[in-house]
Chains A and B, each alone.
Chain A
Amino acid sequence: MKEKAQIVNPFLYVLPDLMELTDFLNGIRNLCLAGYSPLCFFGTARQELLCGMALAGKEPILLRCLFPQDMQYQSLSMEFPAFHLFERELWEEFGVTPLGHPWLKPVRFPIGGQQSMEQYPFFSSESSALHEVGVGPVHAGVIEPGHFRFICHGERIEHLEIQLGYQHRGIMNLLSQGDIRQKMPLAECIAGDTAIGHGLAYCSAIETLCNVSVPTALQTVRLIALELERIAMHLADLSALAGDIAYLSGQNFFAALRTTIINSSLAICGSRFGKRWLKPGGINYGLSKEQNSLLRSTLEEAGRQIERCTRAMFADAGVLNRFDSTGSVSKKAALELNFSGVTAKASGLAIDARCDFPLSAYTEFSPLCLDSGDVFARASIRAKEIEQSLDMIAHMLSTLPPVSAKDSVSLPPPMPDKLCIAITEGWRGRIVHVVKTDSESGTEFYRVIDPSLHNWFALALAVRNEGISDFPLCNKSFDLSYCGTDL
């Protein structure tokens, strides 16, 4: 069991001194070699590069330098692949070219500012033995837009390229305009299915910038909300996984149980997805004594039913046949490419912001972990995390006094010239929000890094050498967000 780290998430910084470009890059290299992984890496409107490097249990280290004079530098991606998306973002947003980047393609915008996806430089093969299958951006069912380009040899996938950016909303710009304290509705729709995860990251960042501390009971309610969201979404994923293999019982029963969970959120805050439950400075809806005991008994009953359904599903030979050894991601890849959440934990990488960078209300927590990295591992991690979260909620509720939303604190204007990094563990993985205030307490920039940004690449790796008919199953086992990536 990991000890609770003695650090305070969210992290507050005054901008560090500017470094020379070579020092900056060497600093990053040395930290990478020391086991740090990049938390954020981006350019700012002040023509500066900012890089946050994280190691579990340590305060993230911030590095800063000016854009290179000739707007190009030696790419880090070849050495440390975790940077490949960050460098593409930087190139796309500010034209700073990472020389020698192996896969320099746009992330969110059509190439070169032209509004034409026809010019996207897809990887293609001249071989007459291979054929290409394009799926999307418009999909069957209620799915967000994204284009998948497969290169197949018969039924076997040789290569998958995922191209997103169809619903770029400019959310980071919107967040940095106007009063930062009033952006909760926006933060909640960074990814609609992670309203609490992103909302909590936003709230804690703002509270830290405004230098207020929220009473512990209120913070506990927020964590309960976060775990409820995790349970509901994991149940939805188990249901969808069962649906993809036409395992009718699993599909229906898990979907029904998810309704039980999200209806508990509905009973408390009026929204099944927990929207408007949290607010910067506290919560909008408290938990009375009656609500507390009702929630406990509901979850207890749901827990029993979930256990039965899980046991039945994971004992079914047909289900195991489909899940086992399908879509494997290696631990090495997960480590090198900065995957997080279920994706990383199923590949044997025990990273979880709840123990690596715990918010103050967390007590001891140890992440669950499996080694095989396949669909089975991701499905069972979800099943086990549901159980774990139910236990956590039960524990928190049992010691929670009646909480009233009136105990929320009001927020003074944020401190000027400060930078805050807030990290939460959403149900998909590590959510990072980076906020910087300017000298008049306005917002200079607001960066959002959803776990999906990195994890999409795990899907591309997982389906290599799999049958193309197993792609939907692999895709569902990751269940990544399109809009969280597009922002």
Chain B
Amino acid sequence: MIINFLFILLLPLLFIGVINKTKAIWAGRKGASILQPLYTVIKLMGKSEVHSHSSSHIFCWAPSLSLAATFIAALFIPFGAQHAVLSFKGDFFLFMSLLALSKAVIVLAAMDVGSSFEGMGASREISFTAFLEPAFLLIIGSLAYAGGFGTLGQLFLHHRVYIFNEWSVIIAVLTALALFIMMLVEGARVPFDDPATHLELTMIHEVMVLDTSGVNLAMVHYASALKVQIYASMISYFFIPEGMHSLSIIAVYLLSSFGLAISAGLVESLMPRYRISRNLELVIIPLSISLLVLAALIVHNLGGI
């Protein structure tokens, strides 16, 4: 329980810090401390806010609602612990809705400002979601149905990867890959988005929060980092076999999160960004992979069609 909360609070920003550090080292620079995102958020907490004249009340409360929704969604995932803080039968749907809500309010806030940039960013971000949500539901749904799991927490903790069963390995690898791509898309990372760019016209996530400042901006930063960490946690649990000691779970969880952050950093260092017009074609990849997972599960559990 305590571990859950501690990790939810601290890990997301460290994760982003590790990505940035990896990029810096690859580029031959020393780079900022991996705590820098944390410092930035703390700094932003102490700042006052500027509100655009054209914005309404939506702009004021959207970031806090978005953060709250993401935070509650994170409680359904076992963050380095044996159990998730919250869980009930069929909680996938609430989890999905919370993430969707978090995104919807940020999009609303972006459009509320009335800037043409932010409207563009909002439309880009929403078009990604249209392909990612079905992919996620399909993967989680098929895994849950096949394994007979009722909750997200159970699914990730009890899902077994039998190393000697090729279908089991295939399913795990495919699922992890789909989740990794989703992590890159949802976290607005290269090759889908470029968090380091200063060019408004090419931004996706960043451009939506151009007018956000102060505490609200801190919340937006933290919420988007938390979303990345949620996906990373899901992947991490593929490395954690059932019945592991809780201390070992923490160790494996931290190690795999760290490894995922480094691989995300390496992807950013090695790959140029895709054209935005081609992004949508590539965002469909997780959906295709999730269909493969479904197919593999059918073969695995039912012995073929």
Q: B-contacting residues of A (Cβ < 8 Å)?
A: 131-135, 140-141, 155, 242, 244-249, 251-252, 256, 316, 318-319, 321-322, 467-473
Give the secondary structure class of A's interface. Answer: helix
Interface locus among B20-28, B145-153, B157-165, B218-226: B20-28
Of the A-B pairs whose beta carbons lie under 8 Å apart in the complex, a sample of 13, sorted by A's number, is: A133-B201, A140-B199, A155-B276, A246-B190, A246-B196, A246-B197, A246-B268, A248-B23, A252-B29, A316-B272, A318-B271, A468-B120, A472-B202
Answer whether A467 and B116 are a contact pair too, CB < 8 Å, given A246-B194, A249-B27.
Answer: no
How far is A140 from B117 in the complex, measured between Cα atoms in Å?
A: 13
How far is A245 from B193 in the complex, measured between Cα atoms in Å?
A: 10
Answer whether A244 and B202 are a contact pair too, CB < 8 Å, given A133-B116, A321-B275, A467-B275.
Answer: yes
Q: Which residue of B lies closest to A251 (CB)?
A: B27
Partner of B200, one of A140, A252, A322, A470: A140
Q: Which residue of B lies closest to A252 (CB)?
A: B27
Partner of A467, one of B23, B190, B271, B277: B277
- Contacting pair B270 A249 (CB below 8 A): yes
- Contacting pair B26 A248 (CB below 8 A): yes
Answer whether A471 and B268 are a contact pair too, CB < 8 Å, given A252-B28, A318-B191.
Answer: no
- Contacting pair B201 A472 (CB below 8 A): yes
How far is A322 from B117 in the complex, measured between Cα atoms in Å?
A: 22
How far is A470 from B201 in the complex, measured between Cα atoms in Å?
A: 8
**B273 contacts the other chain (CB 8 A):** yes
How far is A471 from B202 in the complex, measured between Cα atoms in Å?
A: 8
The listed residue with most A CB atoms (<10 A of its CB), out of B28, B194, B277, is B277
Q: A-contacting residues of B (Cβ < 8 Å)?
A: 23, 26-29, 116-117, 120, 190-191, 194, 196-202, 268-278
Hey, which chain B residues are within 8 Å of A155, CB to CB? 120, 276-277
Hey, which chain B residues are within 8 Å of A467, CB to CB? 275-277
How far is A319 from B190 in the complex, measured between Cα atoms in Å?
A: 13
How far is A98 from B26 in the complex, measured between Cα atoms in Å?
A: 57
Hey, which chain A residues are within 8 Å of B27, CB to CB? 248-249, 251-252
Hey, which chain B residues are within 8 Å of A251, CB to CB? 27
Hey, which chain A residues are within 8 Å of B28, CB to CB? 252, 256
- Contacting pair A468 B201 (CB below 8 A): yes
Hey, which chain A residues are within 8 Å of B199, CB to CB? 140-141, 244, 472
Answer whether A470 and B275 are a contact pair too, CB < 8 Å, given A140-B200, A141-B198.
Answer: yes
Given contacts A246-B271, A248-B268, A252-B29, 16 further A-B pairs with CB under 8 A are A133-B116, A246-B190, A246-B268, A246-B273, A248-B23, A248-B26, A248-B269, A249-B27, A249-B269, A251-B27, A256-B28, A318-B274, A321-B274, A322-B275, A467-B276, A469-B275
Hey, which chain B residues are within 8 Å of A244, CB to CB? 197, 199, 202
Hey, which chain B residues are within 8 Å of A242, CB to CB? 272
Hey, which chain A residues are within 8 Å of B196, CB to CB? 246
Q: Which 5 A-B pairs have the closest CB atoms?
A: A247-B272, A318-B272, A246-B273, A469-B276, A252-B27
Partner of A140, one of B198, B270, B275, B278: B198
How far is A469 from B204 in the complex, measured between Cα atoms in Å?
A: 10
Partner of B202, one of A141, A247, A469: A469
How far is A248 from B26 in the complex, measured between Cα atoms in Å?
A: 9
- Contacting pair B272 A133 (CB below 8 A): no
How far is A470 from B272 in the complex, measured between Cα atoms in Å?
A: 14
Q: Which residue of B lies closest to A466 (CB)?
A: B277
The listed residue with most B CB atoms (<10 A of its CB), out of A248, A251, A473, is A248
For the complex formed, measure the closest distance between the CB of B128 and the CB atoms of chain A, giving whole angstroms: 14
Hey, which chain A residues are within 8 Å of B26, CB to CB? 248-249
- Contacting pair B201 A469 (CB below 8 A): yes
Hey, which chain B residues are within 8 Å of A469, CB to CB? 201-202, 275-277
How far is A133 from B117 in the complex, measured between Cα atoms in Å?
A: 7
Q: Which residue of B lies closest to A319 (CB)?
A: B272
Hey, which chain B residues are within 8 Å of A472, CB to CB? 199, 201-202
Q: Which residue of B lies closest to A470 (CB)?
A: B275
How far is A79 from B197 in the complex, measured between Cα atoms in Å?
A: 42
How far is A401 from B272 in the complex, measured between Cα atoms in Å?
A: 46
How far is A155 from B202 in the complex, measured between Cα atoms in Å?
A: 11
Hey, which chain B residues are within 8 Å of A246, CB to CB? 190-191, 194, 196-197, 268, 271-273
Partner of B272, one of A135, A140, A245, A252: A245
How far is A176 from B121 in the complex, measured between Cα atoms in Å?
A: 49
How far is A141 from B199 in the complex, measured between Cα atoms in Å?
A: 8
How far is A247 from B196 in the complex, measured between Cα atoms in Å?
A: 11
For the complex formed, measure the closest distance between the CB of A251 and the CB atoms of chain B, giving whole angstroms: 8
How far is A23 from B269 in the complex, measured between Cα atoms in Å?
A: 62
- Contacting pair B201 A135 (CB below 8 A): yes
How far is A473 from B202 in the complex, measured between Cα atoms in Å?
A: 9
Q: Which residue of B lies closest to A157 (CB)?
A: B201
Q: Which residue of B lies closest to A141 (CB)?
A: B198
Q: Which residue of B lies closest to A134 (CB)?
A: B116
Q: Which residue of B lies closest to A244 (CB)?
A: B199
Hey, which chain A residues are within 8 Å of B23, CB to CB? 248
